[in-house]
Amino acid sequence: MPELPEVETVVRGLKKPLTGHVISKADIRRKNLRYPFPKGLAKDIEGASVRNISRRAKYILIDLSNDKTLIIHLGMSGRMTVFDSRQDSYQKHDHFVLRFDNNSEAVLNDARRFGIVDICDTDNLDAHKFFAHLGPEPLSNHFSPAYLQEKLLARKTPIKVALLDQKLVVGVGNIYASEALFDSQIDPTRPANSLNKPEINRLVPAIRRVLEAAIKAGGSSLRDYVQANGELGYFQHNWAVYNKKGQPCPGCTCDPFMTGGIQKITQGGRSTFYCPQKQN
């Protein structure tokens, strides 16, 4: 579900209402999501206040006053929403609830339960197994054409598949990989090591452009995703190719009845959308 823009949007939405507030109660409503909830989690966080909320890759980091950081991943179907003062009772799949001193609640709802909740000493975050092997943030300067070119050298897997590898670059998921390759006019089936310098010079800024535009739009809502305030994202209206099989390519003048329009293929077990006329 949530890729970098969705997680970033949620993080921004959580900051204002939660920062500075004390967690009065952590309600753990089942024993596991993707993994078991950490032992003693409630005890570890109750009574602490929220110092800051940030994002690394697709993880939400809630930095607490007791020098621990609560780590949350939304998986495919997770939502993290804040309720001012909740009137209605818990919904189906509300698995983890933080109640605050001002009576507000942050609720993790995750139908498919691919999400993750973990806790870590803030000092040791970088060494945590989730983060130790991650690639650079795509919106940082560490993600440069020179870096990408070097990393792609040894990889003959299709470029679309490579972009989903979080060791190469974090945050890019299935939607934005298709969108960024369309933006840079690169055929997603090309072996990663076949991209030349001009193509890589197009791809890096295209990834940034697509992610930044999506953040501006509050992310993409396909089915589960909502912002922290419960509103939908609206970048799905700006998709050029994702989920648009058979539709005319926005950058092409060719007749979709002749070309078949946008193609849907499967790579690495996941759907890829692209325009064979524009991307090569």
Q: State which of residues 109, 221, 277, 279 lies at the interface with DNA (CB under 7 A).
A: 221
List, in order, residues 6 or more apart from 84 with CB less than 8 Å away: 17, 103, 104
Each residue 77-106 as x (binds DNA by CB under 7 A) or -, in order, gives x--------------xx-------------
Whether the CB-CB separation of 238 and 217 falls below 8 Å is answered with: yes
Q: State which of residues 135, 138, 173, 188 lies at the interface with DNA (CB under 7 A).
A: 173
Q: Which one, 28 or 76, has the nearer CB to DNA? A: 76
Residue 26 CA: distances (Å) to CA of 45, 101, 108, 280:
7, 12, 11, 51
| Annotation says 58 is catalytic | yes
Active-site residue, selected from the candidate residues 5, 17, 56, 58? 58
69: its two tokens: 């950081």
Phi-psi region of 50 (alpha: psi -120 to 50; beta: other; left: phi over 0): beta
- The continuous run of DSSP H or E covering 28 comes out as strand 23-28
Decide: helix, strand or coil at residue 184: coil
Residue 217 within binding range of DNA, rule CB under 7 A: no
Residue 213 within binding range of DNA, rule CB under 7 A: no
Whether the CB-CB separation of 10 and 60 falls below 8 Å is answered with: yes
Q: State which of residues 55, 56, 68, 73 lies at the interface with DNA (CB under 7 A).
A: 73
- Please report the sign of the dihedral spanned by the C-alpha atoms of residue 109, residue 111, residue 115, residue 119: positive
Q: State which of residues 186, 224, 241, 277 lies at the interface with DNA (CB under 7 A).
A: 224
Range in contact with DNA (rule: CB under 7 A) among 69-77, 96-104, 210-218, 248-256: 69-77
Q: How many CB atoms lie within 10 A of CB 269?
A: 6
Q: State which of residues 96, 100, 225, 239 lies at the interface with DNA (CB under 7 A).
A: 225
Residue 29 within binding range of DNA, rule CB under 7 A: no
Q: State which of residues 104, 157, 238, 247 lies at the interface with DNA (CB under 7 A).
A: 157
Alpha-carbon gap, residue 3 to 8, rounded angstroms? 9
Residue 58 within binding range of DNA, rule CB under 7 A: yes
Phi-psi region of 273 (alpha: psi -120 to 50; beta: other; left: phi over 0): beta
Residue 161 within binding range of DNA, rule CB under 7 A: yes
| Annotation says 150 is catalytic | no
Positions marked active-site: 2-3, 58, 270
Binding residues (CB under 7 A) for DNA: these are: 1-3, 6, 34, 57-58, 73, 75-77, 92-93, 111-114, 130, 154-157, 161, 164, 166, 173-175, 220-225, 268-271
